[in-house]
Structure 1
């Protein structure tokens, strides 16, 4: 009989301990969907600049004649913007860009120059990073290099 009482109290103690630990954690209802959190549109960061164009088509160009295009943008923020990195997708495209800080409302440029050495269609990209922590912008130049008429 003593063993039955001891076992009974042990079971009661385990139940009490189990009930106490469950009381600390909220019960999960399997029918309840988890909450979805979203960032309101007003707090999402806006694009730091407004590009005039992100793609430029040269059309047909003569082989051996380099062509250039200036991609321009305006700083639309209330803070100064700095171009921190510009990288062409291959060695056939050279780049140049505004090296000074761009104040709010000011316009800057990224120049892409394609060497047009090989005949045929081309599509090349230039990746531009502003203020190191921003998502890079990919600009595209394209066209078709044709053999010059003899």
Structure 2
């Protein structure tokens, strides 16, 4: 048993010694340059999304009404904010948003239209925003109650 242990230890040592590949030789110069550029941008600071409110309460409406509203988003960061995607939780909500970069200190909008047709009862809908901000995704909410048509 002792011979097997010693033999195993010798084989492990040989395996480590034979792996003399130089890891620094494997680094691709183009990847290194890309990483340097990315790190330089990060050191400048990133965009930060700040909303006027995280929840929009549309109150009580009658089934079939369409509610239009907007969330204001301000860039509190140091670089341009670019909203890349806005996804509602269901097809009853249609979003539209500022497609141009939002400069630091400036404000953009995420507009929405909620169609209450066929949606009777308490409503909790969400809109997920994806951007280049420090926090990549943010979620805002729509709430309210839809009463049946008389």
TM-score, scaled relative to structure 2? 0.65
Structure 1, unmatched stretches of 5+, are 1-13, 15-42
Judging by fraction of residues, say which structure has more helix: 2
Q: How many residues align?
A: 113
Q: Cα–Cα, structure 1 residues 133 and 46, in superposed 2: closer, same or farther, change >3 Å?
A: closer
CA RMSD of aligned residues (A): 2.9
Residues in 2 aligned to 1:133 and 1:78: alpha-carbon distance in whole angstroms: 11
Where does residue 76 of structure 2 map in the other structure? 76
Work out which of the two has the higher radius of gyration on C-alpha atoms and give 1 or 2: 1
Once superposed, which parts of structure 1, at least 4 consecutive aligned residues long, lie more than 2 Å away? 132-135
Runs (5+) with no aligned partner, structure 2: 1-5, 7-42
TM-score in terms of structure 1 length: 0.65
In the other structure, the counterpart of 1:38 is none
Pairing of 1:1-150 with structure 2 (within 5 A)? 48-118=48-118, 119-131=120-132, 134-149=135-150
Q: How far is the alpha carbon of 1:132 from its aligned partner?
A: 7.6
